[in-house]
Structure 1
Amino acid sequence: MAVSEITSPVVTAAPGKHRAAVATALPPARGQSFLKLVAIELRKSVNTRSGRFLILGILALAVAALGWQLTHLNDGRQAFSSYLDAASTGVILLLPVIGVMAMTSEWTQRTALTTFTLSPRRIRVQVAKFVSAILLSAVVLSATTLLALAGTAIGGSVSGDGATYAGMGGALAGTYLTTALNVVMGAAFGAVIAQTAVAILVFFIAPTAWTLAGPALFKSNADYLDVFGAFGRIAERDLHGMVPQTATALAVWIVLPTIVGLWASSRREVK
């Protein structure tokens, strides 16, 4: 028999069956856990030059405030609350920018397509951004607290009158809670506006403008939308009988923008 006459059968699998076989051979796809999303967002916040400079700038501001406090010592024992107020005033003012940048970075740096392709459930990603911003601000505030503790000890030693840490727990609780609310407010503005510069500008101007103009227009009723007054009462851990005013201010300036921001982010066009 000639060689050319010898043929071997060729088995060709149907394309559909081949794809099915490959699909069953691959491990099942698993969604990303929420903790992993939070860790990713935390890494995004500190892996950029702007994020690192912002954090370093905030801590440098705290060091400068403590330096001023140490060069203008009061008579008597040095109170930790005074050093904490000096170190955290500027920090609390700037920490919400972390929240703004966490929510706007995807859109201003044009990475939203990659992020939402890998994690299509946008609301879940946005909530992870909120949580990561709160955690990062808590870390920065903790570093500021350690600086305040060191400053109090140094001040007590230099003055010769010693230091006092009375009311330390309450002061820290109020500061951390107010900071978390402030950062959430910043993140909510960022989620609504999605442009870093504009969101930061609106965040600082809008509530300040109301604080200045509200009392002249609405007298005591302006307290219902005075978010800074609400923050102050929360920091003091005493609402002064103004529970409706405090709750309304938080709802208007934090809860409502958060809901609107999550809704807008879920529907915003990805380019």
Structure 2
Amino acid sequence: MSTTLTPTPTAVVPTAVVPAAVVPVAGSTARRTGPSFPALTGLEIRKSLSTRSGRSVAALAVLVGPLGVLLATVTSGGGVVAAMALGIMGMLIALVLLALGVLSTAGEWTHKSVQTTYLLVPQRGRVLAAKAAAMALLGLLLASLGVAGAVGALALFTAGVSWVGTAQAVAAVIASGAAFAVIGAGIGAAVGNSAAAMTGTYLTVLGILPVLNSVEPEIAEKLDPAGAITVLAQQGAATTPIAVIAGWVVVSTIAGVLITRRRSVA
């Protein structure tokens, strides 16, 4: 009797499929993940205006100019030099926009939303650049609306206005508003706390520097960004005021970037 041997099928053990390594082709560029810079800038603008505090500060920046003109008209009785009035109103607008910039950066650390922000875009320098761009655009827009309201209030409610130098005053106010919003963003990023950043900055600009101006006016002239706005509004493109405001922008932005890159978000 013959026996037929049937071969037993060999069990097939599944093996994990290992994806092939992606080798970059010469001349190709890696695709960046995450939102583009314009989209990220737009997102930062929406974030700044999505909170009650952000909307309140933005509204105040628009209204403080015409309200200040009306108050000055009631107390002065007319005979106003437009460039001087706009310089003062521009300083108030810029100081309000400074708070908006602080809230855009320090507000995220205060409310712990910074973890979500840097999870979406881990490149902190890119996020801060988008915040600075967003604040510059918001500053330009809000300062333009504020100075337009101030000019309209001067034309409608003030008698005997001298309009000499008004164009240069308007340009100075708008540019200063954008600059102060960026300064606020840099200071907020460096300090990491909204209340501390605004208290320290306003104490310096409105307290320490005016005292220094009464003691050492030549030194204060080279440090005071608020006083630089009034000088620009009345004198035009003066070198020292422009250098003072630009210095605050550069120093605050660099400080914000360096400190933020080393700060833990946990």
User: TM-score, normalised to structure 2's length?
Assistant: 0.76
Higher relative contact order structure (alpha carbons within 8 Å, sequence separation ≥ 6): 2
In structure 2, relative to structure 1, the CA distance for the partners of 1:140 and 1:188 (3 Å cut) is: same
- Deviation, 1:92, is 2.4
Q: Which residue is 2:180 aligned to?
A: 182
Q: How many residues align?
A: 253
- Deviation, 1:255, is 2.1
Q: Which residue is 1:145 aligned to?
A: 147
- Deviation, 1:270, is 0.9
Could you tell me which runs of 5 or more consecutive residues in structure 1 were left unpaired when the two chains were aligned.
1-6, 21-27
Where 1:186 maps in the other structure, the secondary structure is helix
CA RMSD of aligned residues (A): 3.7
Contact 2:65-2:92 at 8 Å conserved across structures: yes
1:191 aligns with 2:186: no
1:258 aligns with 2:253: yes
Q: Which residue is 1:23 aligned to?
A: none
- Deviation, 1:143, is 1.6
Amino acid at match of 1:36: A
Alpha-carbon distance between aligned partners in 2 of 1:55 and 1:250, rounded to the nearest angstrom: 21
Match of 1:57 among 39, 60, 72: 60
Amino acid at match of 1:265: T
Q: Aligned ranges for residues 116-135 of structure 1 at < 5 Å? A: 116-135=118-137
Alpha-carbon distance between aligned partners in 2 of 1:39 and 1:218, rounded to the nearest angstrom: 43
Contact 1:224-1:246 at 8 Å conserved across structures: no
In structure 2, relative to structure 1, the CA distance for the partners of 1:169 and 1:11 (3 Å cut) is: farther
Where 1:225 maps in the other structure, the secondary structure is coil
- Deviation, 1:46, is 0.4
Alpha-carbon distance between aligned partners in 2 of 1:133 and 1:66, rounded to the nearest angstrom: 25
Alpha-carbon distance between aligned partners in 2 of 1:75 and 1:251, rounded to the nearest angstrom: 34
In structure 2, relative to structure 1, the CA distance for the partners of 1:145 and 1:253 (3 Å cut) is: closer
List per-residue Cα deviations over 1:100-137 (Å, max 9, x = no partner). Answer: 11111221111112111111111011011111112112
List per-residue Cα deviations over 1:17-72 (Å, max 9, x = no partner). Answer: 4x98xxxxxxx663421111110000000011111122223334334324335546
In structure 2, relative to structure 1, the CA distance for the partners of 1:114 and 1:63 (3 Å cut) is: same
Greater fraction helix: 1
Q: Which residue is 1:206 aligned to?
A: 204
Contact 2:62-2:149 at 8 Å conserved across structures: no
- Deviation, 1:205, is 1.1
Contact 1:42-1:136 at 8 Å conserved across structures: yes
In structure 2, relative to structure 1, the CA distance for the partners of 1:61 and 1:208 (3 Å cut) is: closer
Alpha-carbon distance between aligned partners in 2 of 1:230 and 1:145, rounded to the nearest angstrom: 17
Match of 1:44 among 31, 37, 47: 47
Contact 2:93-2:143 at 8 Å conserved across structures: yes
Amino acid at match of 1:183: A
Alpha-carbon distance between aligned partners in 1 of 2:195 and 2:122, rounded to the nearest angstrom: 26
Q: Aligned ranges for residues 25-174 of structure 1 at < 5 Å? A: 30-69=33-72, 71=74, 74-75=77-78, 80-81=82-83, 84-85=86-87, 87-155=89-157, 165-174=163-172
Q: Which residue is 1:25 aligned to?
A: none
In structure 2, relative to structure 1, the CA distance for the partners of 1:238 and 1:141 (3 Å cut) is: closer
The 10-residue stretch of structure 1 (229-238 or 34-43) with the greater mean CA deviation from structure 2: 229-238
Alpha-carbon distance between aligned partners in 1 of 2:84 and 2:211, rounded to the nearest angstrom: 30
Contact 1:103-1:129 at 8 Å conserved across structures: yes
Amino acid at match of 1:53: S
Alpha-carbon distance between aligned partners in 1 of 2:150 and 2:235, rounded to the nearest angstrom: 21
Could you tell me which runs of 5 or more consecutive residues in structure 2 were left unpaired when the two chains were aligned.
1-8, 22-30
Amino acid at match of 1:40: L
Q: Which residue is 2:233 aligned to?
A: 235
